[in-house]
Structure 1
Amino acid sequence: MGSATRKRTRSQTWAILSSQAAEASQPSQAAEEQNTVVKSKTKAKRQRTTRAVLNSQSAEPSQQQLEELLQHEVIREKRSKQINDRHKGKEAHLVPNNGEGEHADNDAEGSATPYFSTRMGPKTMFKFVQKLTPEQKQSVRDIGFGALLNLQLCTSDSQLVQYLLDNFELYQTHFKLENDKLTVEEEDIKYTLGIPRGEKVVVEGPKYDEQGRPKYRALLQSWRTRWNIKIGSPITTKMGDVIVKRGDYGDEFKRGFMVLTVSCMMRGFQTRRCNHKILNSLVNVDEIKEYNWCNYTYNSLIKSIKKYKKKSNGFFTDR
């Protein structure tokens, strides 16, 4: 199947998913009739969001598009706060954001659908890549992650995300559609994010840092010195501004970029701290593009869904 055909098929399928999510979120026929206008606007926005994801690798966004997305982000945050205040005191099966993670966007204001909470999300990365210098952007391209520089999605849709989780068959790895199914494969990660899919296997450091190989322990110690910490790792949401402010674009920049990317887009922690254990696969930055980051992301996604389905009252992560 050609790239253009595949893109149209994906776009159409996600449009169907968005449509079904909107229908599934309505409690009754009467409520559906009362919210016709809201559903129409919500569906249109979801379709625009889907196209933004699928097309983010094909063309760098214009300045006008970036301004529109950032303006939408400001509006979304104000709306999220209003809805969050409205639902305070109501029992919900998803934990609050606590100011450090990322809430998915809830389009239908006043909806009873609880927030989908996660420490991960596109907002932090979206803002981060806009601030990079030309030299830093070139370094990102050099390690094979240039597609993320064109990221156009800075929000997520709460109802759609929850719908997808509810309709995902874990062991067959597909989404249940009304009369069909959509199988999720490693190839889809490559198609959507455009990240490297090399031969090397991404391996994180062990649970206890002192049990890691010598090169990992040495790198971790120097990395922590650079971040002025003795143990643990920096706060994920604060890393981007520090990296940009430093202005360098060598090996340390590349490692910082990868740690932030992994923590935001691939495999984050339940805490607000970044995933420093990925440094085990960042000892030699020249080999970053030789790793299979698609497989790493795919496996992390499946593990996260499995854990979430067992206990859906926490952040969406397998750590």
Structure 2
Amino acid sequence: MENVGKKNKKPLVKKLKKTVQVQPNEVLIDDELDDDEEASDKNYEPEQHDMRMVISGGQLKKNKAIIKKMDAPVSNENESVAARIMKVRCRPHSLELLIKDLTPKQIDAVKEVGFGGILGLKLTETCKIMMPWLVERFNGASLMFNIGVNKEFVVTRYDVYDVFCLPMNVGNDVPEIAIVRVGENIDSQLKDVWKQQFNVHGYDGIPLKKIEARIRELIDGGDEFKKLFVMHALCSFLTPTANRTVDLKLAKALHVVSEIRNYDWCSYVLGQLGKHVSHFKDHEKQESLCGCMLLLEIIYFHRLKFQGKKENPTTSNTTLDG
């Protein structure tokens, strides 16, 4: 079994500067929306230069002109995506604010559970105008990313690891609680434990704000803190939910804290992104787009830096939630 996630490696997430303006109600990030809105490979060693510094402020400024030129041919499908309202639910800013206030003991706890790679998250704003272009060029089923003529590649779990340094234990998939009728799932009691802890009843979801409040109380870290932090990181950023609530199907994966770092979280994050992009493209009336879209943006800029040639992302009506 491969465990890349335990290596000490700085993630490739750097500070993004605001570089492109879009018209209101075109591209929305979840943090901009109202709270009540509905919302084998054992010998693999990442290259030392992988994706570092590729989304720094300077890099985005260089790509401002690229985005404006828009010479890239646009397909009929892309025209359809570009014309739609897109509410991107990835909320990096929410997680960044939480990380900013962590105590030294909490930071150590995050590292112990295998998610220390995201502690360097520093974002002011993502490049909203690129989102429709990224969605068009990424095939959620095959994970093929086409960034230009004769320039396509399959996004893999290693790309996720190079960006976020999450645990990547190949073959140890993240377990989920199946969606079945009440009383039919022996794991349903795990969901009940979470709901009882936050005084939530029935089919109501647990707001992420309640998770944040409790995290700030657990200044000494500990197992409860580890569970809550990982849940928040997933539901706000890595595998974001549409309505700013906890995704209780993950309760099984977080139940035994010592096992959290032993799962293949890189494959899980990528799989969720592919699933949600495919769902968005297949349903014309859908506005919400879950999945960690920032991942595609980082990978795109990485390819620009190390391949030399640049494509011109198209503009559209997209909104980021983060």
Question: What secondary structure is seen at the aligned counterpart in 2 of 1:188?
Answer: helix
Find the residue that maps to 1:166 and give its secondary structure. helix
3-state secondary structure, aligned to 1:177: strand
Q: Of 179, 184, 191, which aligns to 1:211?
A: 184
Q: Which residue of 1 aligns with 2:166?
A: 195
Q: Give the TM-score of the pair, scaled to structure 2.
A: 0.63
Match of 1:222 in 2: 193
Deviation at 1:240, TM superposition (A): 2.1
2:114 is aligned to 144
Report the secondary structure of 1:150's partner residue. Answer: coil
Q: Structure 1 residues 159 and 278, CA, compared in 2 at 3 Å: closer, same or farther?
A: same
From 158, 169, 177, give the equivalent of 2:139. 169
Contact 1:236 1:272 in 2 (8 A): yes
Q: Give the drift of 1:220.
A: 2.9
Asked if 1:289 is matched to 2:243, the reply is: no
Aligned partner of residue 240 in structure 2, secondary structure = coil
* Residue segments in structure 2 that go unaligned for 5+ positions in a row: 1-8, 40-63, 69-81, 292-322
* 1:132 positional shift: 0.8
**Structure 1 residues 145 and 170 mapped into 2: Cα distance closer, same or farther (>3 Å)?**
closer
Which structure has the highest helix share of the two? Answer: 1
Report the secondary structure of 2:153's partner residue.
Answer: strand
Question: Secondary structure, in 3 states, of the residue corresponding to 1:175?
Answer: strand
SS in 2 for 1:301: helix
Structure 1 match to 2:223: 251
Is 169-178 or 198-207 further displaced after alignment?
A: 169-178
Residue type at the aligned position of 2:34: G
Q: CA RMSD in A?
A: 3.7
Aligned to 2:206: 234
1:222-248 deviation line (CA, Å, top 9, x unaligned): 322221222443222553244113434
| Matched letter for residue 204 of structure 1 | E
Letter in structure 2 aligned against 1:125? L
Question: Are 1:119 and 2:89 counterparts?
Answer: yes
Aligned to 2:236: 264
Residues 122-153 of structure 1, C-alpha deviation per residue, up to 9 Å, x if partnerless?
11111111111111111100011011111123
User: Equivalents in 1 of 2:38, 2:130: separation in Å?
Assistant: 15
Contact 1:56–1:151, Cα closer than 8 Å, also in 2: no
Q: 2:280 matched to which residue of 1?
A: 308
Give secondary structure in 1 for the equivalent of 2:288: coil
Which of 227, 235, 248 is equivalent to 1:276? 248
Cα distance in 2 for residues equivalent to 1:165 and 1:149: 27
Identity of aligned residues (%): 21
**Cα deviation, residue 58, structure 1:** 6.4
Q: Which amino acid aligns with 1:225?
A: Q
Count residues with an aligned counterpart. Answer: 238
Equivalents in 1 of 2:189, 2:38: separation in Å? Answer: 32
Using the size of structure 1 for normalisation, the TM-score is 0.63
CA distance in 2, matches of 1:122, 1:237: 15
Find out whether 1:132 has 2:86 as its counterpart.
no
Q: Which residue matches 2:11?
A: 57
